[in-house]
Structure 1
Amino acid sequence: MKLVSAAFAALVIAAAPAWAETRVTYKSAKSGSSYYQMGVQVAEAMKAGTDGQIIVTVEESQGSVQNVMEVRARGADYVFTTPPALVGLAQAGKAMFEGKGDPKFDEIRALFPIPSLTMHFVMSDASGVTDFAGMEGKTILLGKGSFGASEGEKYLGLFGLEGKVTIADVELSNAVAALKNGQIDGFVTAGSWPAPNVIEAAASTGVHVISMSDEQVAETGRTRLVIPAGTYAGQDTDIVTTSLPVVAYTTTAMEDETAYQLTKTYWEEKARMADSAPWWKGVDQGLMANIAGKIHPGALRYYREAGFPLTDAQM
């Protein structure tokens, strides 16, 4: 009887899925950032959703370019986040990847979209500003060295406000306090929505987040995104703004089964993640259209099973 039991146990072990107790590295952003927090939440979701069979280690990153560059030296366990546009530049050897091309860039494949970097032009109720034209003569905080700062400066130029607003010399981390004490009339921030600093500002002082026309969105060359009414206190209508899509990628070195389980678990756990972090509510099947280039075959298997919308270019 003992021999039969031992043989049965051996058969069970042999039949265990290849992805059991798989370890994955997830490289996201600087610690303390919202995207690093998202990475931690993804890691927790993977552990819970697979009963510990997929363990994700979150690594701090200095930015999306570094994440892509590390593909050259990483193996099958590497997952990283970056805007899809950077993957295209790496594969074409253009811009910041000029002269740094590598065949491994061509092996990059998408897994799933994560919350997009979303532009917010936040004006205090006291300023009375409800559109871009009204920003003329006001004091605006752009921040320094961030995507939101450079994008905000670009939009001021596009919408005829260059030289017509005062740019405050204040750190973005102090935006809400500066708004409350009247040091600034508004601030520009980019991050996943709902943005914590916008939530705080809306609840404490009252704000108006400026909505863009479709013509203005087209001028920016960015992806249109709608923040639903009710997202922020006092927001009675939808906000039309722009975004920079962000996607989790791996390479063809990852086993199909691992990519399948990562993707399946991500979507199945997303609602639970949204219960503790509202920015996950902004992720839905509509973001699949933001994935430029090919999706990993393992992830494709899940998307086909679940009936997700796909394009020919993604397959």
Structure 2
Amino acid sequence: MKNQFIIRTALFGFAGLLALSLGSATQAETRVTYKSAKTGSSYYQMGVQISEAVKEASDGDIIVTNEESQGSVQNVMEVRGRGADYVFTTPPSLVTLAQQGKGPFEGKGDPKFDTIRALFPIPSLTMHFVMSKESGVTDFEQLAGKTLLLGKGSFGAREGARYLELFGLEGKVEIADVELSNAVPALKNGQIDGFVTAGSYPAPNVTEAAASLPITILSMTGQEIEETGRTQIVIPANTYAGQTQEVITTSLPVVAYTTTEMDDDTAYLLAKDYWESLQHMAKSAPWWNGVNETLMPNMTGKVHPGAARFYKEVGYPTDESLK
């Protein structure tokens, strides 16, 4: 009996230690949901890379799960029903509109929108006006009389049409009725003189075009950029084949956000792991080369205190009033 009691006591003790050990392991693992874009898009792929990088950098202490999204507005709207584990991407301008109850958020305001906090910038949506060398077009004035593919329904299509109107080219440029997915073949066979696309650089369709035929990517003047009201961005020389000079164009900043429900330590580690993984991620996807501390001013709105702690440590610029 005495031996049985000792054995039972030992078993209970072992079971208790095992439960404590498993409980500690579960407690140490933080799970985060990252919602960005549609499956198959470059921004969804960025989310996959971020999740892999964070898992590796944190030794598995932070597990990031990607969720497909139908767009930035949906990402912001879901803040209303999400908790501390929610990270999402959106242009900062949409966060401002949500907090003001304007635009797509009119009549849909919620106090939780005021809890949104920035974590880190990701590659911006960069405007590319891609022309065949044969077209002879080197600036926007020369687009008159040319055939341009804008695509349909995308940010790049809407922005491209807006620029044509701003620059006095509406009605002077023939808009091709061709899907953006067919831009490169249409450019090669002379069906169009150029196409417009928006994406993080280097954009895959622009890379394909540059590898297929000589192209020119149009640069904007300071006045043209000012007229658009967008953020200036510079595509470095040699980003694309045959592009020997830098291209000055516009962009729509995109930022990863969470809310104040996320604890400071998790936000700190997410920011730290992200920035420290950029060079590694850039080896397989060059769009990460476009992310550096110069994008920090794009994080308009308040920065999460945990992320702000990391930025203070590394000396990256953040506006004290936004913390």
TM tier, shorter chain? over 0.9
Residue 70 in 1 paired to residue 71 in 2? Answer: no
The correspondence for 1:227, drawn from 235, 241, 254, is 235
Letter of the 1:251 counterpart? T
Aligned residue in 2 for 1:148: 156
Trace 1:24-35 onto structure 2 (pairs within 5 A): 24-35=32-43
Residue 299 in 1 paired to residue 307 in 2? Answer: yes
The correspondence for 1:248, drawn from 231, 251, 256, is 256
Aligned residue in 2 for 1:160: 168
Trace 1:1-315 onto structure 2 (pairs within 5 A): 20-315=28-323
TM-superposed CA distance for 1:311, in Å, is 1.1
Mapped partners of 1:241, 1:48: distance in 2: 35
Please tell me whether the aligned partners of residues 109 and 250 of structure 1 are also in contact (alpha carbons under 8 angstroms). yes
TM-superposed CA distance for 1:254, in Å, is 0.5
Mapped partners of 1:293, 1:263: distance in 2: 16
Mapped partners of 1:183, 1:288: distance in 2: 41
Aligned residue in 1 for 2:5: none
What is the DSSP-based 3-state SS (H/G/I as helix, E as strand, rest coil) of the residue aligned with 1:120? strand
Mapped partners of 1:236, 1:124: distance in 2: 15
Mapped partners of 1:85, 1:98: distance in 2: 14
Gaps of 5+ in 2: 1-14
TM-superposed CA distance for 1:160, in Å, is 1.3
Mapped partners of 1:265, 1:137: distance in 2: 50
Letter of the 2:173 counterpart? V
TM-superposed CA distance for 1:93, in Å, is 0.5
TM (norm. structure 1) is 0.94
Structure whose alpha-carbon radius of gyration is higher: 2
Gaps of 5+ in 1: 1-5
Mapped partners of 2:275, 2:137: distance in 1: 39
Stretches of 4+ aligned residues off by more than 6 angstroms: 6-16
Deviations 1:49-68 (A, max 9, x none): 11111111100000000000
TM-superposed CA distance for 1:313, in Å, is 3.0
What is the DSSP-based 3-state SS (H/G/I as helix, E as strand, rest coil) of the residue aligned with 1:25? strand
TM-superposed CA distance for 1:126, in Å, is 1.1
What is the DSSP-based 3-state SS (H/G/I as helix, E as strand, rest coil) of the residue aligned with 2:211? helix
Aligned length: 309
Mapped partners of 1:8, 1:295: distance in 2: 41
